[in-house]
């Protein structure tokens, strides 16, 4: 009997802890955008270069990513956005401009082109926040982690997709990414890598997709057949229930991927889809290739794959597994050059190269990881064009303001959060509560900084920022820090803690006009 996904996740967490105890360190080396290394279908239709040759901008918040897009001369001006730190709901606001179309609560790459988004430094983590590509072209996303994006529950983002593409998208390369969830649809998650409504010429390479009910899809329904020309290579799919990927129509190429613990089904080719599947390694999985959950069949071409402890179900009216002895049912002509690693070494070379924080290493076709030659347009030690500010500008509006709240603990004062003194703090009586800053007349605020007291850093786990005049939610987040939102005129602003790992201690609740 297959264990529930939550139990399988617990087992994987234990394995991760064991690896840490054995001294296997997870590192995030500096990375630069290797725009010359694109492979697969993203090389077609004119190729995919992202923001090559454009301005370099460093961003440490989602709002700064949006501001970089909106600060271009036009929606097609090339730009390379170097992202460092954790991007979440609390620091991702809508920014307006003639060269962008953004929204709060999601990284919005909409109606734009010629953009590279690359994680640098200690790494880029998009926490509970998805990346949405819509009506856009020539996009590169590299060296980022996107985790725990939900379509239900709280907070929600991007329809529950880690990376989602829809509506006339062309030429996207996602490379060395880690896309992960913490459960399936019943836990609020959807797909890790979805393409629909006329999305074409996409490559997903050297990435990790794990711990999700749904790996990803091409086509949102049996009638959405305008998608395709997608390459998947040197990726690791781990602990995925289904959709690794699901293809509805279109053409795909999957080579040198490592699939482990596909719990219900894997590559699901249906509704006329065609997929070439060569030199992959399938391990400890079920029904890794076929047409499933429909009578509208797809087809496949297979060669050189390893099936290690793979089980197959019996055929039925809506179940057409390719195994136990997979044979080709079509021929797929691949228009680009590629070099195959031997299937037997795929688990090792993918383990060493795939995912964020692996130095953008790639295989040389002989199962040996190599660091790619740097992009000629990338300086060896590039200074960011516009360094991301670590502190808001202007005066802290909380100093001298009033304060109140709810659920105050004994021995603390609401006023401690606006006295400019990090050694004093306010605490709720339990793990939740709220504290407010208020003024006698309306003040314009667009950014807040919440600082936890020494010894309590990281205790706050979920919060909301409210316009106390209207009750409107200005921002949400999962860790205390900086939150940016559209400038709002108000008399009272409230920081509401909705979840914590203990009793929070808020040293300062700073407010700024910009």
Catalytic residues: 243
Helix (H, G, I), strand (E, B) or coil at 37: helix
User: How far apart are the two ends of the chain, measured CA to CA in Å?
Assistant: 56
Helix (H, G, I), strand (E, B) or coil at 75: coil
**CA angle, corner 350, sides to 346 and 106, nearest 5?**
140
Tokens of 99: 């060269």
- Cα–Cα distance for residue pair 254/332, rounded to 1 Å: 11
Residues 6+ apart with CB under 8 A from 362: 37, 206, 234, 353, 369, 370, 372
- Cα–Cα distance for residue pair 119/27, rounded to 1 Å: 13
- Cα–Cα distance for residue pair 268/272, rounded to 1 Å: 11
Tokens of 292: 């499933």
Residue 49's nearest CA partner among 157, 138, 110 is 138
Residues 6+ apart with CB under 8 A from 512: 392, 393, 394, 395, 396, 397, 445, 446, 447, 448, 449
**Pairing relation of β-strands 246-248 and 208-218?**
parallel
Tokens of 121: 């430094």
Q: Which residues are 276's β-sheet partners?
A: 253, 301
CA 57 vs CA 111, 303, 339: distances in Å? 20, 44, 34
CA 11 to mean position of chain CA atoms:
23
CA 30 vs CA 143, 406, 435, 475: distances in Å? 10, 44, 39, 30
Residue 198's nearest CA partner among 248, 125, 259, 126 is 248
Do 171 and 45 contact (CB within 8 A), yes or no?
Answer: yes
Residue 83's nearest CA partner among 95, 70, 67 is 67
DSSP-assigned letter for residue 396: -
**Pairing relation of β-strands 460-467 and 482-500?**
antiparallel
């Amino acid at each position: 009997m297959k264990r529930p996904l939550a139990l399988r996740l617990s087992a994987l967490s234990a394995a991760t802890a064991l690896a840490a105890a054995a001294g296997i360190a997870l590192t995030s080396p500096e990375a630069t955008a290797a725009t010359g290394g694109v492979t697969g279908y993203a090389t077609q239709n004119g190729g995919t270069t992202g923001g090559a040759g454009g301005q370099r901008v460093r961003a440490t918040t989602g709002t700064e990513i949006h501001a970089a897009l909106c600060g271009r001369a036009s929606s097609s001006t090339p730009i390379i956005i170097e992202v460092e730190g954790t991007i979440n709901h609390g620091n991702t606001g809508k920014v307006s401009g003639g060269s962008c179309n953004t929204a709060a609560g999601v990284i919005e790459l909409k109606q734009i082109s010629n953009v590279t988004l690359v994680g640098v430094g200690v790494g880029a983590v998009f926490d509970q926040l998805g990346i949405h590509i819509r009506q856009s072209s020539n996009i590169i996303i590299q060296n980022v982690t996107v985790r725990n994006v939900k379509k239900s529950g709280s907070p929600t983002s991007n329809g529950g997709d880690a990376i989602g593409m829809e509506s006339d998208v062309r030429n996207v390369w996602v490379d060395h990414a880690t896309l992960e969830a913490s459960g399936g649809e019943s836990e609020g998650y959807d797909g890790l890598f979805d393409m629909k409504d006329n999305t074409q010429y996409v490559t997903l390479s050297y990435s990790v997709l794990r711990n999700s009910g749904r790996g990803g899809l091409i086509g949102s329904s049996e009638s959405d057949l305008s998608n395709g020309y997608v390459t998947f290579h040197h990726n690791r799919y781990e602990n995925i229930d289904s959709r690794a990927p699901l293809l509805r129509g279109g053409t795909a190429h999957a080579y040198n991927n490592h699939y482990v613990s596909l719990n219900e089904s894997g590559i699901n080719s249906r509704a006329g889809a065609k997929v070439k599947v060569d030199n992959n390694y399938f391990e400890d999985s079920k029904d890794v290739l076929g047409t499933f959950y429909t009578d509208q069949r797809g087809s496949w071409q297979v060669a050189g794959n390893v099936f290690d402890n793979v089980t197959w179900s019996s055929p039925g009216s809506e179940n057409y597994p390719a195994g136990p002895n997979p044979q080709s049912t079509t021929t797929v002509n691949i228009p680009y050059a590629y070099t195959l690693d031997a299937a037997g070494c795929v688990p090792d070379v993918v383990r060493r190269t795939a995912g964020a924080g692996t130095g953008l290493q790639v295989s040389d076709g002989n199962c040996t990881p190599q660091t790619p030659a740097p992009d000629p347009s990338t300086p060896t030690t590039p200074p960011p064009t516009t360094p991301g500010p670590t502190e808001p500008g202007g005066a802290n509006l909380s100093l001298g303001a009033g304060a109140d709240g709810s659920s105050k603990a004994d021995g603390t004062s609401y006023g401690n959060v606006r006295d400019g003194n990090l050694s004093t703090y306010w605490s709720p009586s339990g793990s939740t509560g709220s504290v407010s800053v208020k003024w006698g007349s309306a003040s314009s605020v667009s950014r807040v900084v919440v600082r936890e007291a020494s010894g309590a850093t990281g205790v706050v786990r979920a919060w909301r920022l409210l316009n106390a005049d209207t009750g409107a939610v200005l921002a949400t987040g999962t860790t205390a820090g900086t939150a940016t939102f559209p400038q709002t005129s108000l008399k009272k602003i409230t920081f509401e803690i909705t979840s914590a790992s203990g009793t929070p201690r808020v040293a300062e609740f700073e407010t700024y006009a910009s």
